[in-house]
A and B are shown apart, each in its own frame.
Chain A
Amino acid sequence: MINRIKQKLQEDKKLLSIYFSAGFPSLNDTTTIIQDLEKSGVDFIEVGLPFSDPLADGPTIQESSTIALKNGMTTELLFSQLKDIRKMVHIPLIIMGYFNPMLQYGVEAFCAKCAEVGIDGLIIPDLPLDVYEREYKAIFDKHGLVNIFLITPQTGDERIQQIDAASDGFIYMVSSAGVTGSQSGFDNTQEDYFNRIANMHLKNPQIVGFGIKDAETFKQATKTTKGAIIGSAFIKHLHKEGVKGISTFVKTIR
């Protein structure tokens, strides 16, 4: 079966992805949120596996992770919540999480479970490229999981080429220097960066994340790229409104 992410990337439109922390705002909101996001027309979803020490995340996502953990979220519980998700949801699902919880679950067992419930890919910010290729790529491949790597405005051209070569899905393009939720908007610096990457003609499409929060930033971010990911802004919405009004939020974006 062709990976759902790869299939989605072939569609002729700008893709919108949403991130949320599993187990937030309430422990058992996971499948409700996923279903509502799909119904609202979101193209794919990043399900955040909460971690006690999320280094690359700002206060908003750290807080939603902390609340999720307090609510009792665990790796095992997330998999059991997702057990029947493929009977209901057809868009690509990605788990985004830090490496340590996966290491403790066992990387092989984790990947097998992902494949079993119908996860299509993983984003693991603190699993470096060289370690992935040396120790885990074979396992990911065996279970048909796409691994997504990040690039930032500071990533050198040579390294971007390496990451492009190692990727088989999309490249997660971090919009600017900063943790999640810390950007105030896009300016010329981002435009130069977006243009620089566009001119590299990479084999993998790019999806922009960090700093996308409304229709305007979504439009700016997707001018030269395939799509964009919203995280902190959606978490803030959930914080305020709970799981109600998800489609209203998505409609404000596009």
Chain B
Amino acid sequence: MPNPTALMIVGALLFAIGVVGFLTRRNMIVMFLSTEVMFQGVLMNLVGMGLLHGNIQGQGLGIFVLVIAAVEAGLGLAIVVMLYRRRGTLDAENWRSLRG
């Protein structure tokens, strides 16, 4: 049985890698994939914490993370499709109407 702390470290690294992807990639689909990577990190951290506390609730919350991920993927990709139809590109830089 591995140490839960190791699981959490790997989860933290996964989360951070997802953050970099979200920050650097300009393709909106890849940005969403990066968020999925972040979800993996969060999931591993939840399970690890649950193990540390010696109960199963971390895994229960992990199920909900799965649900949220599914919802996010569905809605986010729908928005991506809509934005792509508007501009004909997936570049996130194209949507800068908040520019000061």
A and B part of one assembly: no
Residues of B within 8 A of A (CB): none
